[in-house]
Amino acid sequence: MKVASTTVMRSRCDGVREWLSRSGTCPLSLSVTYSGEHLESSKDDELMQEMFDILLSFADRWGDVNLSMPENIFNKLQCDINPDTFSPLKSLETALYRKPYWGDTEPISIRLLAAPGRRRITLKTALHMTASGLVPPIWKHLTHITFTSLTTDIYLFILLIQCPNLVFGNFFVHSSQRYETVADHRQVFLPRLESLAINDSGAHELMAIIFNAIKAPDSTRLLYRWLNPGLHYFMFGKRETRAAGPPTVRTPPPFCMIMNM
């Protein structure tokens, strides 16, 4: 469903209401896209809220949801959301964005991530943002995680520790540019992990620690892409480039594929 002009929105509100009223008790698979940056008029705002109210009235049947829209529009949808209402929700994919603003690193809040039954999450956000505030407060039930937004290496380490049921993971990682002793002497037990893909834009000691800490006996695929052969440091207003290599893994498993790009 793609949200459009006032006339089209009126028609779609009526159509969605009728379709949902006939859907019985079946789990719902929803896709909502808003391609603009803002609402054109107060009437558009009213119709948008009406559409969201219709969808939310069936929240207890949402099973698979895909949301793509600006952050300000998304906040209209989630302003009254109680995550506990969405217990059937198993899969959530979000593509949320805001206008670029230099220095704006505040993560987008996504209340649906706290839905108790979700197993799969895919988070797509603008590149100037990080995923560091997006991960749900309850991690242990997640089986599939995809972050197409950047997150730091230390945050990835913390995330993996708290996802013991992870089966598939795909992450884009950049350097935290600081060494974290919290990663020393820790092990990441992932007994169900089958596939892990990491796209890394800057390697250093911590990434090597992460790889060596992962214990995943059932894994069949580990893909590591090193996307940036140089680390860029900004110190006292001066940019310096230092050579950097991919992390050294002491005992790489037979399924491990390391690619330098």
pLDDT at 103: 52
Do residues 128 and 97 lie in contact, with contact meaning Cβ atoms separated by under 8 Å? no
Q: Give me the half-sphere count of Cα atoms (radius 13 Å) on the Cβ side of residue 68.
A: 10
pLDDT tier for residue 167 given thresholds of 50, 70 and 90: very high
Query: What's the rounded Cα separation, in Å, for the pair 112 and 127?
Result: 21
pLDDT score recorded for residue 162: 86
Compute the chain's Rg from CA coordinates: 21
**Sign of torsion, CA 20 25 26 28?**
positive
Q: How many CA atoms lie within 13 A of 151 on its CB side?
A: 26
- E strand or H helix at 8, and its extent? helix 6-21
Model confidence pLDDT, tens digit, residues 6-17: 778 888 889 999
Q: Residue 173 in contact with residue 147, Cβ under 8 Å?
A: no
Strand pairing category for 238-243 and 230-235: antiparallel
Side chain identity at 63, as an amino acid letter?
G
Average pLDDT, the chain: 76
CA atoms of 198 and 146, how far apart (whole Å) = 10
Question: How far is Cα 211 from Cα 200, in angstroms, rounded to an integer?
Answer: 12
* Global confidence as pTM: 0.79
pLDDT tens for 142-154 read 999 998 888 888 8
Amino acid, res. 155: Y
